[in-house]
Amino acid sequence: MKRFSAVLLAALTAFTLACGYSSKATTPAVAGTMPSIVALAPDSTNSGEPAFILTVNGSNFSTNATINWNGTAQTTTHVSANQLTATIAASDIETPASVPVTVTNPGTAGTGAYGSGGTLAETSSAMNFTVN
């Protein structure tokens, strides 16, 4: 019985290798489109003020781009490839600070064989918003 099992295992191994079975190579994701911020409107406010709408002007904003306020993604409205808006809560401007604002274009999933390809998420350089 042991001999039969060994022969069967050897035959299955040889058959698997003869069929060319191997893991398929995947294509890695490529760099996505890099967004760029040109201006914030407004670019400052006073601490303790109510919530406000922040407009980010720039370029290369994808339709599902996100404004990041101090590293936290905000609910974002895509106006155009050059403009996004987000409501900044009053709790985010309670104390004076210099707050970094960035924009992230999310990555896209690969559509090739085995999910290969796609693009990586890209985040713009920060522009500082001043809370006086």
Provide the domain count of the chain. Answer: 1
Q: What angle is formed at CA 22 by the lines to CA 20 and CA 28, rounded to 5 degrees?
A: 135
The answer to whether position 48 is within a domain reads yes
The answer to whether position 17 is within a domain reads no
pLDDT per residue of the chain (132 residues) written in tens, 0 to 9: 666 666 656 666 666 655 555 555 567 778 788 999 999 999 999 999 999 999 999 999 999 999 999 999 999 999 999 999 999 999 999 999 999 999 999 988 776 665 667 888 899 999 999 999
The answer to whether position 3 is within a domain reads no
The answer to whether position 125 is within a domain reads yes
The CATH number of residue 80's host domain is: 2.60.40.10
pTM: predicted TM-score of the whole model, two decimal places: 0.74
Cα dihedral 37, 77, 80, 38, rounded to 10, equals -10
Rounded Cα–Cα distance for residues 57 and 110 (Å): 29
pLDDT reported for residue 125: 96
The answer to whether position 44 is within a domain reads yes
The answer to whether position 11 is within a domain reads no
User: Which range marks the domain in which residue 78 is found?
Assistant: 25-131
